[in-house]
Structure 1
Amino acid sequence: MPSSPDLYSPLAAWFANHRRALPWREEGTSAWGVLVSEIMSQQTPVARVAEPWRTWMKRWPTPQALARADSAEVLRAWGSLGYPRRALRLHECARTVEREHGGELPVGVEALVALPGIGDYTAAAVASFAQGQRACVLDTNIRRVLTRVLDAKAAPSAHVTKRDRARFEKLLPVEVEHSRIWNEGVMELGALVCRARNPMCEACPLSEHCAWLQAGRPGLGERTTRPQSYEGSDRQIRGRILKTLREGGAATVGTLENASGADSERFVRLLTDLLAEGLISRTASGEITLGAGTHKEEHVHAR
């Protein structure tokens, strides 16, 4: 296994010249702002996140500000970022921070991961990027780079194993600032150069250390998972229902069924799921609106 200095120096030099100017990397960005960027970037390309993040942070610059918003307002602001349950988790996180931590985001991986909706990766990222903590950040990009460099495999395993975490932690520089540069740099390398498809190995600062490149890049182009189509999926139909409510406010069940484009049985199933998740609620007049209401309907009937 290459030692940390073997990889850190070329990586740090490359990162200094290729670091993207993302808004949450600007000087003065709070740990809360970094947390918001991490939640927004889950399963969403960074390019789509920059403007919504700026708008969100202008509106809710602190956990206290978001905690005092209602869920319908939060869901409308989330817009078309997708996977709107992330917005509700962020909202719940803000309320917990205000209630249990005096409105200040707690410091360190252990404290962060105890917050609702915050997993190991997000906690480590916030601790490393914004709180001056030494933490091992392992997202998909980082794991792909290190798996290729160390194991000569095109893609990492589906889940982080204890063995992988132990090996990757050994590569993390001891000095805190170097550990931050390492985490951000490897992540950036995976996003821009060591991509899942069409990697730019000729531009990689770690190419001379890469076991995968030296082995002839075995497995490149092979699918490890079956692609999922968005067109016609439950996710697309749920998105249509939520978009109708974001743009038009409260709506009848019939209006939402028409907008969904789904057959009645499927529509009822998805609407019931959205009610159970607190993404929508039924008003006293029987219409459907965004956000959690004071009660949930157990059964929904199509028109």
Structure 2
Amino acid sequence: MRVLVGGGTGFVGTALIQLLKARGHEVTLVSRQPRPGRITWDELARSGLPSCDVAVNLAGENILNPLRRWNEAFQKDVLSSRLETTQMLAKAITKAPQPPKAWILVTGVAYYRPSLTAEYDEDSPGGDFDFFSNLVTKWEAAARLPGDSTRQVVVRSGVVLGRGGGAIGHMILPFRLGLGGPIGSGNQFFPWIHIQDLAGILTHALEVNHVQGILNGVAPASTTTNAEFAQALGTALGRPAFIPLPATVVRAVFGRERAIMLLEGQKVVPRRTLATGYQYSFPELGAALKEIVA
């Protein structure tokens, strides 16, 4: 199939494109910079959607970039990088003489309200209680297409774990030095997914015609707490992991709104993802971390 991928130059995009090419699909990227084999967002807006069977959007400014202060300018970047690219692709699909068979968007489990007791599946309510849940609601609304000529899928991703980037990229050094540990209380749930499985779910969604609607992009081992994750990462590295990162430090570095994503969590289960027939490569945390740090 011919697959158009918006924002495919990042951590998740690189893994997805590798898998798509390995499975024989042709890939065209939409990015900010013009390069061979790519089109720019400006070209897409000007010339419309190139001929493709599936469109996928992964574009979005890294929310937890510790080098960016959580101020109005950064919030605007976070919003525009997601909403504008999604609206642009949705509009191009709607106007295309031959629209793609499928349209896939990756959002986040921040849609669900943090809780120490609730369990969320794809049918659970959310999306209306803070900056990030409202962002996911607007983002998913921006992707909606009229009619049913194009199959629509939204994957709400958890924390993406993989070698050489993502969440592990920021954590690995302190943990290797034996300075890692839980964030805040450590009791908050930590919905995670191995990058191979996120790429796998996206590929499954574009290849299997009956897949549609919301899918939770998290591992089935959804009862993991932050403290259990820290312990498992320490074990995988053969290092102790008991030095907590205090909540006050997290709020000072990331700002109060962003800190919620780290200090509070959601127990999210991939009920519908499993029901579609997707088989996880890394359903358990220990094996996932062992592969990543090997």
TM-score (norm 1): 0.26
Whose RCO is larger (CA < 8 A, sep 6+)? Answer: 2
Greater helix content:
1
TM-score by length of 2: 0.26
Larger radius of gyration: 1
